[in-house]
Amino acid sequence: MNRSRQWDIFCKVIDNHGDIGVCWRLSTDLAARGHQVRLWVDDASALAWMAPPGHAGVTVLPWLEPLGLNLLRLDSAPCEVLVEAFGCEIAPEFIAACADQHRAGAPNPVWINLEYLSAEPYVERNHALPSLVQHGPAAGWTKWFFYPGFTPATGGLLREPGLLQRQADFDRSAWLDAQHIAWAGEKLVGLFCYEPPALPALLEQFARAGLHGEPVRLLVAAGRAAAAVRAALVNEKGLQPILDKHQLLSITYLPLLPQTDFDHLLWACDLNFVRGEDSVVRALWAGKPLVWQIYPQDDQAHQAKLQAFLDRLDAPASLRAFHQAWNGQHPHLPAMDTQGWSDGLRAARQALLGQPDLCSQLLGFVAKKS
């Protein structure tokens, strides 16, 4: 199980960088455990700010069409584990090169289809199921579906071995100083979102009442969240006078943060608004009250996914109601009960910490299938 292997992870960046974020965390976790990783990605530009120093053991390669001379890397280090992230279709010339090596005596790679995270029941039913490849140079090989999830019957969640110690060693004041955030003891709220319709109401709520009566400093992530806040201040005619009159809300716009500093942001805040797959998992590990904006889909399929997540957390009624409003199910933003939310989220976090993490489960699965 602990033998070093050559992993090839394929990732297509669809939007919002969640896919490359998950793939990078997985790649670095594998590399930190002694494995070699080639991360093939069609647009690696986000890694310039997401992971500026790179990582020993992870080689980022452009997913071009065709892959061209990069395939020569297979000659010196044949693929042993092939990861198809989030349903992307691996470059056919890569599969053909692996098949050529197999005919020359190399073993088949263990082929993993790494799926999206969900708490819905189908995840347990479909996790670790095989799928026979019917066509092409790899006909007859087996592809395995691997589902991240929140129960022991799933593939678990990404959680690198040193995470809890890093969190225990974290110095909030020092980190805020390093980010040039002039913190005067306000409640810190992190905002990483798309464009929730309830955003103006949230800003007004903080401006009028703070968080449980205490002043709030809103730390706004760069990109869509920052644009949404600025648009709300411009478009909601009654909002700016409230902000000018009341001193309970101040806003700090953050630069693009590397993954390590995004973790630090979550640890520093008293309440975290997050979006997408990678950030909600990191917010769970942070152990602070959280509100998740799930990626909206036109057919509203995301609402069932959100409810399954809240069910898995055994979320109290107030947290469910706030999520429903934040995710557009009704227009009125209810009051926040962060203390009540915190107790349940800490219990859920503790239960999840008792389950094997995704990388460990992947390594065990690959060892059994090799």
CB burial of residue 217 (10 Å; 0-12, 13-18, 19+): buried
The DSSP-derived string for 118-150 is --STHHHHHTT-EEE--SSTTTT-EEEEE---S
Tally the C-alpha atoms within 13 A of residue 275's C-alpha that lie toward its C-beta. Answer: 20
The answer to whether 15 is a known catalytic residue is: no
At residue 235, what is the residue type? N
Of 19, 80, 261, 270, which is the active-site residue? 19
Nearest to 83, CA basis, from 47, 114, 53, 59: 114
Residues paired with residue 131 on neighbouring β-strands, in sequence order: 143
Encoding tokens for residue 146?
């691997």
Q: What is residue 214's DSSP assignment? A: B
Euclidean distance between CA atoms 273 and 291, whole angstroms: 5
Q: Is it true that the peptide bond before 66 is cis, omega within 30 degrees of 0?
A: yes
Kindly state the helix (H) or strand (E) to which residue 36 belongs, with its residue range.
strand 36-41
CA angle 256, 260, 262 (to 5 degrees): 50
Can 19 be counted among the known catalytic residues?
Answer: yes
For residue 50, the tally of other CB atoms under 10 A from its CB is 20
CB-CB contact of 226 with 190 (8 Å): no
Q: Which of 28, 18, 144, 13 is CA-nearest to residue 81?
A: 144
Q: What is the dihedral of CA 31, 36, 40, 41, to 10 degrees?
A: 10
User: Beta 187-191 vs 271-275: how paired, if at all?
Assistant: parallel
Distance CA 364, CA 155 (A): 11
Active-site position among 80, 84, 277, 357: 277
**Would you name the residues annotated as active-site residues?**
19, 277
